[in-house]
Amino acid sequence: MALIKFIEDKAPEMREIFEDLHANPEIGFEENRTAAIVEKCLTDWGFDEVHTGVGTTGVVGILRGRGQGNRRIGLRADMDALPITETTGLGYASTHAGKMHACGHDGHTTMLLGAAQYLAATRDFDGTAVVIFQPAEEGLGGARRMLAEGLFERFPCDEIYGMHNQPMSKLGRARIRKGAMMAGASFFDITLIGKGSHAAQPQNSRDVLVIGSELVGVLQTIVSRNVNPVLPCVLSCTQFHTGSAYNIVPETATITGTVRYFDRDVITLVEKRMEEVCAGLAAAHGIEIRLDMRNVFDVLVNEPELSDDYVAAAAEVLGAENVSDDAPLVMGSEDFADMLGQVPGAYINVMHGGEQPLHNPGFVLDPATLPIGSSIYAKIVERRMPLTKEAA
């Protein structure tokens, strides 16, 4: 492993930042403390510009290299935590009940800060580095909020790079996939409005509990009996809420869930069938069923040439034998896809050990991953905007 010496030397400082962020997690669009730490670091390290409040709590730093080039490369990290109660028992575990960095965004923020400190100290690149600290990645639309507020109009980028930790693997490896890598996602809310009654007189009801149970079963057949089996898609109902007492047949119920896909025609077909199923069951049982479907994540697509360079940058740190471009398709989603939809770039997974997956209350990010991520971020900037003697 060939970590950048400056970053390796700063690893203890990076770990302090990481542990502090982990102990003080903040949910999407509430990352005020985290944003303040990021702002102070970038300012103290001499960034040319530091902008706050981008997309509510996002931070963007602008750093000009020693050359006079006009190219601009973006590096992005997410900052938000999840509404999960931590069970790791770490000495720096979350101090806020019901909030936890169970996806490693505290680590991602620290990785980008480590790269930012090195780039600010050296400025050995010809162009401008744009570091983007994004709020609310976990399904709340943080990337879209930043884009809606003119992220790339205010801070233009020619290309952009993101990164995510991947546990339950082996430290010192990285993987990417050219083209489509992570699924798009739609979330849905279904409201059933029937007729309540006394539980002893169910004949007077239109029982949304029974009808909703039937609806969940029918929804699960949409993918298996309508979507071409060679096209990846998954529909999951994840919540079912109804009822208030032992002796009342409920009048209303809600069902929520998500659909993950890679093909636009597939999600169009699934949405159409969901509408038809809801309308059919409503008519059959004499109740009202409302379906609210909304796209939350686009398909994440890595630009092939830039993916190759990202692999090369990672190989400079980890060795070519430890970096691959054969990552599998992932049915999980990532809103960095929205940024890649406007600016070409790539997104890589940095592997580490651990026994628990992401979004688990026992998840632990290996701190040894931090200088690895920082070094890869820094290498891609220097590789894509090399500083020549003429430029310097």
Annotated binding residues, written as ranges, equal 103, 105, 138, 164, 359
SS (H, E, C) 160-191: EEEEEEECCCCCCCEECECEEEECEEEEEEEE
Return the structure tokens found at 380.
Answer: 């891609």
Contact 281, 215 (CB under 8 A): yes
Return the structure tokens found at 131.
Answer: 């570091």
Helix (H, G, I), strand (E, B) or coil at 242: strand
C-alpha 171/C-alpha 301 separation (Å) is 25
Q: Which single residue is written with the structure tokens 């239109």?
A: 206
Q: What residues form the annotated binding site for Mn(2+)?
A: 103, 105, 138, 164, 359
Contact 113, 378 (CB under 8 A): no
For the chain, the C-alpha Rg in angstroms (whole number) is 24
What are the start-end ranges of the E strands in 169-287?
174-175, 179-182, 184-193, 197-198, 233-242, 248-249, 252-261
Any bridge partners for residue 305, and if so which? Answer: none
Return the structure tokens found at 225.
Answer: 């009996």
Contact 167, 365 (CB under 8 A): yes
C-alpha 331/C-alpha 131 separation (Å) is 27
Return the structure tokens found at 82.
Answer: 């999840």
CA angle at residue 375 from 373 to 376, to 5 degrees?
A: 65
CA angle at residue 28 from 177 to 139, to 5 degrees?
A: 45
Return the structure tokens found at 345.
Answer: 């770039």
